[in-house]
Amino acid sequence: MNVYKTVTNLQQELKKLRQKKSIGFVPTMGALHKGHLSLIKQAKNENDVVVVSIFVNPTQFDKKEDLDNYPITLDADKKLLDEVGCDIVFIPSVKEIYSTNIKSQHFDFGGIEHEMEGKFRDGHFDGVGTIVKRLFEIVQPDTAYFGEKDFQQLQIIKKLVEIEQMPIKIVGCTIFREKDGLAMSSRNARLTPEHREVAPFIYKILKKSKKKFGTKNASKVTKWVEKKFKKHPLLKLEYFTIANEDNLKTFEGKKDPKSKIKQRAFIAVFAGKIRLIDNLQL
Ligand code: PAF
């Protein structure tokens, strides 16, 4: 596995490879877990060469504390990447990516950026759009892979390549879960043992809401979820929303099995100071 820290060196290598080989790309912020590894394995199956980037992007954090505490496990990450057969890892510095102007570009993603995460994390999707656009320009992959745990981010990135007319196929990969159902996330490592123990409640509630949505309308299901969390001593609900998968607008009615548009339940919860998100197709 080759490790590159500068755009120039990475591009020198990619220029040679691109002539004959397909390039799959998995952008990450490091602290890799099995969820990331499944993206990399899929990229490996579908491409000749796999590039992974590790970059904790400062412009997508709305809280400085969250950025400062983001886990960094570079040595362990490199070892895992080697084991799954990653070909190239790109680990740039903030200066390499942003020079001295650590700012986001503003994007119009057609409204999906204002729903859910967009309401609670100011400027988050401008930051994501800025870094993913920059990384796509640098790597110029044929295909890029993103986890469905960040389903809204996945939809935003699909929109980004459309707006920017980038010839990159975006592939969404199913959520990887711990045995007890908790969606894998780099942030799980920061949970206290107490919060880690109760965190699978989030997925349990998602599964129960899926069942309820079969007979009850979305607003009723939402109220039921809110009530459940009000009673929970350790988990604080930020939002639970049932939304259309295509435009991410809140859906309030009853499930229509004949409709082509699917709904998904989205949730954000605080387990102490750690914010966890998850979603489930209904
Ligand atoms: O999902 C992530 O880890 C990040 O948002 C991404 C896509 C790597 C951009 O920094």
Beta-carbon-side half-sphere exposure of residue 118 (alpha carbons within 13 Å): 19
Helix (H, G, I), strand (E, B) or coil at 166: coil
Clarify whether 36 is annotated catalytic: yes
pLDDT at 236 over 90: yes
Q: What are phi and psi of 189, to 5 degrees?
A: -65, -20
Q: Report the share of the chain in percent with pLDDT over 90.
A: 98
pLDDT at 64 over 90: yes
The whole-angstrom separation of Cα 83 and Cα 66 is 29
Position 33 confidence tier, pLDDT thresholds 50, 70, 90: very high
CA distances from 132 to 25, 54, 234 (A): 11, 12, 35
| Cα of 9 from ligand 1 centre, angstroms | 22
DSSP alpha helices (H): ranges in 47-150?
A: 64-68, 74-83, 94-98, 117-120, 124-139
**Weakest mean pLDDT among 63-67, 128-132, 180-184, 207-211:** 63-67
| Cα of 216 from ligand 1 centre, angstroms | 35
For ligand 1, pick from 131, 138, 151, 185 the residue to mutate: most ligand atoms within 8 Å of CB: 131
pLDDT at 257 over 90: no
pLDDT at 185 over 90: yes
Ligand 1 pocket member 132 (CB < 6 A): yes
| Cα of 101 from ligand 1 centre, angstroms | 20
Position 225 confidence tier, pLDDT thresholds 50, 70, 90: very high
User: Tokens for 129?
Assistant: 């759009």
Residues 36, 114, 124, 232: which is the catalytic one? 36
Please state at what angle helix 151-163 crosses helix 124-139, rounded to 10 degrees. Answer: 60
**Which residue has its alpha carbon closest to ligand 1 atom 6?**
28
Domains assigned to the chain: 2-173 (3.40.50.620), 186-281 (3.30.1300.10)
pLDDT at 273: 94
Helix (H, G, I), strand (E, B) or coil at 214: coil
Burial-class residue 140 by CB neighbours within 10 Å (0-12, 13-18, 19+): middle
Ligand 1 pocket member 150 (CB < 6 A): yes
For ligand 1, pick from 150, 171, 185, 275 the residue to mutate: most ligand atoms within 8 Å of CB: 150
The whole-angstrom separation of Cα 229 and Cα 236 is 7
pLDDT at 237 over 90: yes
